[in-house]
Amino acid sequence: MTDNTVTRAQLAEAVYQEVGLSRNDSAQLVDVILEEISQALIRDEMVKLSSFGSFQVRSKGKRVGRNPKTGEEVPILPRRVLVFRASHVLKDKINRALTGAQKGEA
């Protein structure tokens, strides 16, 4: 596994390269898209991106957890968590890329 991370700036640069908008417009487009996704999730809506996956906020109830060091029971408060589920198309692309990389190593 690599420590590479795709940043907002890299996404904007990719839009600039592929679409041909100015760098400034590309950065603004990426910001608008990410903000729209964020706001939809805040409104408790599911966000589905075809051939990529879906994002959803789920509520988790209160429960009792355990401190792994001490074994002491600790209450875990109710909270909302973000869940991403990859589409089958994305999973297939990832697995094909992995298979291709393994063939190249042999």
The per-residue pLDDT for 2 is 59
Distance (Å, whole) CA 28 – CA 33: 9
Q: Given the structure tokens 């094909």, which residue do they identify?
A: 96
Q: What is the pLDDT of residue 98?
A: 81
Give ∠ CA 50-34-43 in degrees, rounded to 5.
Answer: 85
Q: For residues 56 and 40, what is the distance between their CA atoms, to the nearest angstrom?
A: 9
pLDDT value for 100? 74
Residue 11 to residue 29: CA distance in whole angstroms: 10
Q: What is the pLDDT of residues 18-66, one digit of tens each?
A: 998 999 999 999 999 999 999 999 999 999 999 999 999 999 999 999 9
Q: What is the pLDDT of residues 57-99, one digit of tens each?
A: 999 999 999 999 999 999 999 999 999 999 999 999 999 988 8
Specify the pLDDT at position 106: 47
Question: What letter would DSSP give residue 76?
Answer: E
Q: Is the pTM of this model over 0.85?
A: no
